[in-house]
Amino acid sequence: MKLGAFSISLSVKDLQKSKDFYEKLGFTTMAGTEAQNYLIMKNGSTLIGLFQAMFDGNMLTFNPGWDENAQNLESFDDVREIQKRLKESGVEIGKEADETTSGPEHIYLKDPDGNMILIDQHR
């Protein structure tokens, strides 16, 4: 199963303070703005999303169809196909994708310890 680019999405209290901290670790902003209340930061191939007042808790995020530079991949597994395979394996999906559509869509699920996983397809 090809899940696409991986990042950790952090729910932060103060976007500017978090940005400053991660810049000290060598991260640079690659997407988002403070006015939008989110920043995607990158260090090498490592991605961290900083989100202020957008969701509760932290989550693992996968983006089918993208690489770590947010560039389109030629070949990828559509989120609806990923959902189908997960359900066939007995994985409970918290928010399901509409299988009658195509293009952008997302699903949520939790691992056995309650960690949120977002599979978010942008194309």
The string of DSSP letters for the chain reads ----EEEEEEEES-HHHHHHHHHHTT-EEEEEEGGGTEEEEEETTEEEEEEESSSSS-EEEEETTB-TTSPBPSS---HHHHHHHHHHTTPPEEE---TT--SSEEEEEE-TT--EEEEEE--
pLDDT on residue 109: 97
Q: 42 near 68, Cβ under 8 Å? A: yes
pLDDT by 10-residue block (mean), the chain, 123 residues: 95 98 98 96 96 95 94 95 97 96 96 95 94
pLDDT on residue 30: 96
Integer angstrom CA distances of residue 18 from 22, 46, 53, 115 = 6, 16, 13, 21
Q: 121 near 61, Cβ under 8 Å? A: no
pLDDT on residue 21: 98
Length of the chain measured in residues? 123
Q: Which among 68, 81, 78, 87 is positioned nearest to 27, based on CA atoms?
A: 68
